[in-house]
């Protein structure tokens, strides 16, 4: 029994060798950001059927886009601009100036 390591120690050593939450590259994060913008656009322009509520999906994707944008170092106004350009919202002239 003394020659066997407990399972949690073995699992810790294995996770140290092959971490489950490895850091992502900027290219991977940017690709995910663009992928989420595309998904947001599809949901916004999808014709809603009666009783079809996509609000929760939109909120989840919106929050992921904002988080990924922050990780990329984008300003809030630039992230909102990207979201607005990929939605069915009206963009008024001069809305994103400054």
Q: Which contacts of 37-41 are long-range, i.e. CB under 8 A and separated by 24 or more positions?
A: 37/65, 37/82, 37/83, 37/86, 38/86, 40/65, 40/83, 40/86, 40/87, 41/86, 41/87
pLDDT tier at 98, thresholds 50, 70, 90: low
Report the C-alpha gap between 43 and 41 in whole angstroms: 5
Average pLDDT of the segment spanning 25-51: 86
pLDDT of residue 93: 64
For the chain, the 3-state helix, strand and coil shares in percent, each to the nearest 5, are 60, 0, 40
| Mean pLDDT of the region 73-93 | 84
pTM of the prediction? 0.68
Maximum average pLDDT range among 4-8, 48-52, 78-82, 83-87:
78-82
What's the pLDDT tens digit per position in 39-68?
Answer: 999 888 876 666 667 788 888 999 999 999
């Amino acid at each position: 029994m003394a020659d066997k390591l407990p399972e949690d120690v073995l699992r810790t050593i294995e996770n140290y060798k092959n971490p489950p939450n490895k850091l992502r590259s900027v290219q991977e994060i940017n690709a995910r950001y663009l992928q989420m913008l595309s998904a947001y656009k599809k949901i916004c322009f999808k014709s809603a059927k009666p009783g079809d509520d996509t609000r929760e999906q939109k909120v989840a994707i919106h929050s992921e886009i904002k988080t990924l944008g922050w990780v990329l170092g984008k300003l809030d106004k630039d992230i909102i601009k990207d979201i607005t350009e990929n939605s069915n919202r009206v963009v008024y002239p001069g809305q994103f100036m400054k």
